Amino acid sequence: MAVPDFEDVVDARDFILPYLPPTPLVHCWGLSRLLGCDFYLKCENCQPVGAFKVRGGVNLVGRLSEAEKAVGVIAASTGNHGQSLAFAGRTFGVPVVIYCPEENVNPAKVQAMRDLGAEVRLHGADFDAAREEVERVVGREGYRYVHSANEPLLIAGVGTMGLEIFAELPDVEVIVVPVGGGSGACGNAIVAKRLNRAVRVIGVQSESAPAAWRGWKRRTLDVEAEMGTPHEGLATRVPFALTMRIMWELLDDFVTVSDAEIDEGIRLIAEHARMVAEGAGAAALAGARKLRDELRGKKVVGILSGGNLPLGRYAAILRAH
């Protein structure tokens, strides 16, 4: 697989702009006071599907050959990758099949994929079980398989959020990014290390699903990790080759946070930013709170990667405080 570079991200920005306008970068006074830094949220929850991955979906699906578009695409997803492809499929007239896990699935995301015209098939206990099933059936069904991480065009597409950050805040010092498969961390790191190598890019993962964190720490793909987080955007149990290769080279630090700390991040974003963040979307804030001492006085951007949180879970998190 080719590793995407800065020029690929710039090209992706030009390609996706007619379909996806830039998202807001919001300075949060309350969170800045809480953290002791100038803290901004990159609001990917404002995307038409409520999450950052749509940038990559549009960049990849829109560039398929006419033959590939006619056949369609297939993927595994806990929701946001699938919504991304469903949106892109609707935009470009491409059939889309998404395998989702039967357990711990976000029903709002499943319904959103169906509303966008995708065929959704439920299979297995978690994301990786659904992914393994896709990899078994793809050859038989003939679709173009779109992996959630090992896709250069996806990574280049999601990297466009980094270009938007630097356009609005050229003196940014730290970017904190949630990590599930790692495409968001990779895209932001590719941009940051070209525009200002002094900018630190920090990944955050749930300690209940630490596969990528362990792989990054040990510099190996051969890791065993539990997967118990309820936050589906972070719920992977194996690291992926392309994103790990990029993170090994470009990521400055990588931390884990508890699911309780992520829940608190959801509540704090609701209180101080008046926005809905799903678990993955609040992980950056949870990581920034953990690193508060080293971030003090700096200009920090946290990637609010998505806001697709089931209403019942959101209400329970807010009531628990």
Measured distance CA(238)–CA(299) in Å, rounded: 32
Q: Which helix (H) or strand (E) holds 38?
A: strand 38-43
Spatial contact of 202 and 176, defined as CB atoms under 8 Å apart = yes
Q: Would you tell me the crossing angle of helices 6-16 and 54-61 to the nearest 10 degrees?
A: 90
| Bridge partners, residue 203, by sequence | 177, 254
Helices (H) and strands (E) in the chain, counts: 16, 10
Catalytic residue, candidates 32, 42, 53, 290 = 53
CA distances from 113 to 77, 110, 194 (A): 10, 5, 35
Catalytic residue, candidates 77, 84, 208, 305 = 305
Please state, as a whole number, how many other Cβ atoms lie within 10 Å of the Cβ of residue 236: 28
Measured distance CA(301)–CA(48) in Å, rounded: 21
Through-space distance between the first and last CA atoms of the chain, rounded to whole angstroms:
46
Report which residue type is found at 298: K
Report which residue type is found at 108: A
* Residue 305: active-site member: yes
Measured distance CA(176)–CA(307) in Å, rounded: 17
What are 307's two structure tokens? 């806001």
Helix (H, G, I), strand (E, B) or coil at 43: strand
Measured distance CA(320)–CA(152) in Å, rounded: 41
* Residue 53: active-site member: yes
Spatial contact of 240 and 149, defined as CB atoms under 8 Å apart = yes
Token match 């953290």: residue?
35
Give catalytic residue positions.
Answer: 53, 305
